[in-house]
Structure 1
Amino acid sequence: MTARLPALATALAASALLITPPAEAGPGCDGLDGIDIPASAMSLPTGGGHVTAVTRTPTLCQVDADLLPVDPAAPPIKMRLALPQAWNGKAMMFGGGGYDGTIPDLTAQVPFGPADRPTPLARGYAVFASDSGHQAGPVGVPSLDGSFGVNDEALRNFAAGDATKKTRDASLFLLRRAGAEPGEIYFAGGSTGGREALNVAQRWPTAFDGVIAAYPAWNNLSEILDLGHLTRILARPNAFPGPEKQALLHESVMNACDGLDGITDRVISNPDGCRFDPHALRCPRGADTGPHCLSDPQIASVMAMSAPFRWPYPIASGETGYPGFPFLSGADMRTPLLGFGTTPPANPMPDTSGYGMRFWDQWVKHFLTRDPGHDPLAVDPSAPGEWRQRISELSAIQDRNDADLGPFQRAGGKLILLHGAADELVSHWSTTDYQQRVRDILGDRATGEFLRYYVVPGANHANAGTPAFAAGWDSLTALETWTDTGRPPRNPVVTDLNHPRTRPLCEHPAWPRYVGGNPDDAASFRCQQPAA
């Protein structure tokens, strides 16, 4: 675990920050221009690194660097570090999203973070991140460029998380050269960044003091197989429910399940209690007769999306399936970038198909077959034929599924897990599975010492579009308090960033039940445990 300053030194440092003008309060960039980063500074193999640019402002120092690959055919890892003058003595690493390929915004908030609190950089954190070891090409959505997957080193940097540790080590080297030795180091990421967050706790348990993992795609290969399965189903003739039918399904589920939590407020807070049957929307004789009903092929598609997908062959990671998506529990699949998309999958893959379908397309072309002309609809995840061995090999890289977090727990690490119950792209059922695996290995008591898991009703993937509930919670302050004092989050409250309302943030498996009073006030709800 990173070294912690003694309490007295910490207090003195804090006092100094209060009485010293910001321009003199922290370390600067002097001596960082153009320096080399030795390969020995990183615990994983690299070709070393080099600072490519240093930018100075009155309030911070920004350093850009390239970390060079071992394979000369592999792209570099491009990383960035921002060190504020009014430094608080701590550091934060941000994870990426999708296929990465760009450096995250270092001025951003943590995933599902609050709107009324400063960002980590504004709080005085030294913040750093990387593009995970490749640079996205000129595509419509940079995070959907998987072309780097043809190179083994670039693939491991991204999928196995190697770039995360290399970036962390290089950033610590630069901070120390600047005279800044962080007392605590945190990691925050969502989606792919959530997988990276869990990966650092798994693989390098002493590298970070605390981790925020939001909607984590930890079993990436397994999810991709499910996405491929669904892509092929939605591509069948007459199987794709268009935007009007998606709206019909969403409203029907909302009407059937919204009040199960004691109040009708367009948020399904008890998703596990939702029992809507899409057959209630069946068109006469199962034929497609218009936007006011679902045909039999469309019902089959909707049912497949909400059902677990199992493959009948072993893979190296040991995973056997993916739990499906909670589309029948309030997710609004009309979110253009996520969800169903507006047109069915095809080859070539339309830009108007769902994010997950395009993710599958890139994976087939560049990870699996390494043939950019390969038809993604020609690969059947249930019976992959000649690609079965390659799928197994990739699973060992992409499924970051070691749930034995005992070393992280024993080192004093703290983990906050967050997920939206209406996530259209990464299933919260998968995160629930991961948390249960941790409990099965470590037991309830040890798990409770370092892990908290919260499911936010109505929240979708990364607050994209107009979710029923746009989650905002100051998880960073909660993590700081837990790390510094040993006090875990107590009765946390989450805010809807799009509406003036709050809800209790219930530790899974509890959910917020309305008990009376102002429906926009968290005090009017109680965390309800599921029925036995």
Structure 2
Amino acid sequence: MHDHSIRPALAALALAAMLPGCGGSGTTATATTHLAVATGAKLTSCTDLAAKAAFAGTTITSATLAPAGSVTQTLNGVATPMPEHCVVLGKMNERTGVDGRPYAIGFEMRLPRDWNGRFFYQANGGNDGSISGGNAAFGNLLGGGPVSNALLQGYAVISSDAGHVPDATANGAIAGQVYGLDPQARLDYGYNAVGQLTPMAKNVIRAAYGKGPDRSYIVGCSNGGRHGLVAASRYGDQYDGVLAGAPGYNLPQAAVTQMWDAQAFAAAAPAGANGRPNIGAGYSDADLRLVAGKILERCDKLDGLADGMVSDTAQCQAAFSLARDVPTCAGAPDGACLTATQKAALQKVYDGPKNSAGNALYARWSWDPGIAGPGWRSWKLGTATSPGLTATLGAPSMAFIFSTPPADPAVLTGTGTSLLDYALNFNFDANAAKIFATTDRFTESSMSFMTPPNPGRLDTLRARGGKVLVFHGVSDPVFSFDDTVKWLNALKANYSDTGAFARVFSVPGMNHCSGGPATDQFDMMSALVDWVEKGIEPEAIRATARTASANPGLGTIPAGRTRPLCSWPKVATYAGGNVDDAASFTCR
């Protein structure tokens, strides 16, 4: 699964010069093609945009000017005042769905007084469904604890609900997922909202500034990363740069995997008070730390330094064996061993889901010490008193959004049923096949509307000089890092110059989008803009370890440590010097 090779080291002087720069977007070479640098403009219209920015199927419900300092966003724990900007609210394509519910593609735009000439599509995570709170259109920059946002940097930003809002009448945990009963809502969520909103937003920008954007970027993590890779494939003529974190581009398959995980872990779980497996009680924190420690024993020094981090992910997969390296308990687990049942369940999870014929239904997972991070537990296992998100979030998404036809809501709300029951009864032949199925009403399968049409081809974006920058935590418990490597390898099979327009950066130890024993604070956006507009190829991006209070999964990694994140398959390798300084490492 891994595409790993040892390449010659970069010159130490070039790397040292690159890493200390602000944001760490540095360079070692110039791309053969790049686009011109964007030029800015001043906001000339705001409160009159409802009339000036008319667009088919669109209603601008409000356009108001927010004075400087009147709006704040909390960045890295600090309430940060925003500059003067125009806030535009609206909706597109209002309709009544086949399920009788009202639908529209809701959006918010924030347009700064001093514009840098760039459009920023903020692609949101999860099931979308909101343009408030963390999804407000500030232009969220990715990486742990960002200290800025796109609005502060002068971008014109849009955020959307992707065509649906949570249904207040839905029952408990399935609120927000029942839009999957409407075929068009599925398509809007998968790709159509981005396709509809992009030209509309550029029209608003043109009316507000007297010119359209010179450069357009789509940025997001998790489902937002998936939006990015889908846009790179479907809308390569509309976007110059894509920043995709932890991109679940095969999200329906990842949802099948969550059902697989629930069943595998149930085999190692004690029964709860309700008689069902208490998955969160199947492994203690000490159990997970044991596995992480054994991974470190085998893999920590592969990059030339024992530092509590595993940078050489590919070699680690061959070096570590759960069966061999983790002791098997003769009795109860005590933090120094795992039972044979625990080891079998964990190995089954890491091997990935399979049907009865033994065919893989998703990618496998990479062993990494981030398994001990709280983000890994919260998704995969939960705690003894709080179930993991694998079943509670994955089950309704699987049932209503990704299965064709969708399940009857009674499956998850009827007497005697639960989200966990759905996961435990999931059939990996009949039920898993539903992600590829269609009906007369649901004419696109979830593997059609949720994924890039041809992930291995980006002809349009590549031809016009666009770039795709992807980062992914090796210990992401939601979307497999191995699946992202598979995406990159598919591009490499089609294009000999893949590195000139698409790159993947692994983040050792990191869980889903942030957190874990990792240097998880970094600025990928500056690197992307420099690549798109100046031709500066990103080889290494400086990353910093946050404090333990900001990142509870930091473990033994010292706060303030810096490391280069390397363009896959290169590895951050110790070259000598301060072990906590990125300048002491080269990407090989």
Question: Above 0.5 in TM-score?
Answer: yes
Change (3 A) 1:448 1:143: farther
SS in 2 for 1:298: helix
Distance of 2:108 and 2:484 partners within structure 1: 30
Following superposition, the deviation at residue 303 of structure 1 comes to 0.3
Q: Does 1:355 align with 2:389?
A: yes
> In the TM superposition, what are the counterparts of 1:130-279 in structure 2 within 5 Å?
130-137=160-167, 145-158=176-189, 160-178=190-208, 179-236=210-267, 238=269, 240-274=282-316, 275-279=319-323
SS in 2 for 1:76: strand
Q: Does 1:372 align with 2:417?
A: no
Counterpart in the other structure of 2:500: 449
Change (3 A) 1:353 1:513: same
Aligned residues: 486
CA contact (8 A) 1:128 1:171 kept: yes
CA contact (8 A) 1:250 1:333 kept: no
Distance of 1:320 and 1:79 partners within structure 2: 38
CA contact (8 A) 1:307 1:325 kept: yes
CA contact (8 A) 2:222 2:248 kept: yes
Following superposition, the deviation at residue 89 of structure 1 comes to 1.4
Equivalent position to 1:75, from 87, 97, 103: 103
Residue deviations 1:8-67, cap 9 Å, x none?
Answer: xx6xx66xx7xxxxxxx323303124788543xxxxxxxx12112223122100001112
CA contact (8 A) 1:26 1:84 kept: yes
Q: Structure 2: state its 5+ residue gaps.
A: 1-33, 68-83, 271-281, 412-420, 438-444, 548-558
Counterpart in the other structure of 1:476: 525
Change (3 A) 1:327 1:71: farther
The amino acid of 2:564's aligned partner reads P
The amino acid of 1:88's aligned partner reads N
The amino acid of 1:89's aligned partner reads G
Q: Quote the RMSD (CA, aligned, Å).
A: 3.1
Change (3 A) 1:389 1:6: closer
Following superposition, the deviation at residue 313 of structure 1 comes to 7.8
Following superposition, the deviation at residue 185 of structure 1 comes to 0.8
Q: Does 1:388 align with 2:428?
A: no
Counterpart in the other structure of 2:47: 30
Equivalent position to 1:331, from 350, 371, 379: 371
**TM-score, with structure 1 as normaliser:** 0.83
> In the TM superposition, what are the counterparts of 1:17-166 in structure 2 within 5 Å?
25-33=42-50, 37-39=54-56, 48-58=57-67, 59-72=84-97, 73-103=101-131, 104-112=135-143, 115=146, 118-137=148-167, 145-158=176-189, 160-166=190-196
CA contact (8 A) 2:543 2:564 kept: yes
Change (3 A) 1:289 1:89: closer
Counterpart in the other structure of 1:407: 460
Question: Which range is displaced more, 475-484 or 28-37?
Answer: 28-37
Change (3 A) 1:497 1:379: same
Distance of 1:194 and 1:490 partners within structure 2: 20
CA contact (8 A) 2:108 2:160 kept: yes
Q: Does 1:341 align with 2:371?
A: no
CA contact (8 A) 1:420 1:460 kept: yes
Change (3 A) 1:388 1:61: same
Q: Does 1:398 align with 2:431?
A: no
Following superposition, the deviation at residue 119 of structure 1 comes to 2.1
Distance of 2:322 and 2:482 partners within structure 1: 20
CA contact (8 A) 2:112 2:151 kept: yes
Distance of 1:143 and 1:106 partners within structure 2: 26
Higher relative contact order (CA 8 A, sep 6+): 2
Counterpart in the other structure of 1:308: 352
SS in 2 for 1:335: helix
Distance of 2:302 and 2:500 partners within structure 1: 32
Following superposition, the deviation at residue 311 of structure 1 comes to 3.4
Question: Which range is displaced more, 495-504 or 59-68?
Answer: 495-504
CA contact (8 A) 1:459 1:469 kept: yes
Runs ≥4 residues deviating over 6 A: 4-7, 138-144
CA contact (8 A) 1:78 1:130 kept: yes
**TM-score, with structure 2 as normaliser:** 0.75
Distance of 2:368 and 2:294 partners within structure 1: 9
CA contact (8 A) 2:300 2:309 kept: yes
Distance of 2:494 and 2:306 partners within structure 1: 39
Distance of 1:490 and 1:247 partners within structure 2: 32
The amino acid of 2:446's aligned partner reads L
Counterpart in the other structure of 2:24: none
Following superposition, the deviation at residue 373 of structure 1 comes to 3.3
SS in 2 for 1:461: coil
Residue deviations 1:178-214, cap 9 Å, x none?
Answer: 2341111111111100110011110111111111111
Following superposition, the deviation at residue 333 of structure 1 comes to 4.7
Following superposition, the deviation at residue 81 of structure 1 comes to 0.3
Question: Which range is displaced more, 321-330 or 514-523?
Answer: 321-330
Q: Does 1:505 align with 2:565?
A: yes
Change (3 A) 1:521 1:74: same
Following superposition, the deviation at residue 131 of structure 1 comes to 1.2
Change (3 A) 1:265 1:288: same
Change (3 A) 1:503 1:290: closer
SS in 2 for 1:157: helix
> In the TM superposition, what are the counterparts of 1:266-305 in structure 2 within 5 Å?
266-274=308-316, 275-279=319-323, 280-285=325-330, 288-305=332-349
Distance of 1:106 and 1:365 partners within structure 2: 30
SS in 2 for 1:305: helix
Distance of 2:573 and 2:187 partners within structure 1: 44
Counterpart in the other structure of 2:26: none
Residue deviations 1:359-386, cap 9 Å, x none?
Answer: 321124323342233241354342226x
Distance of 1:364 and 1:451 partners within structure 2: 30
Change (3 A) 1:129 1:434: same
Residue deviations 1:279-299, cap 9 Å, x none?
Answer: 3445444x5454543222211
Change (3 A) 1:124 1:113: farther
Distance of 1:293 and 1:261 partners within structure 2: 27
Counterpart in the other structure of 1:492: 541
SS in 2 for 1:110: coil
Following superposition, the deviation at residue 105 of structure 1 comes to 3.2
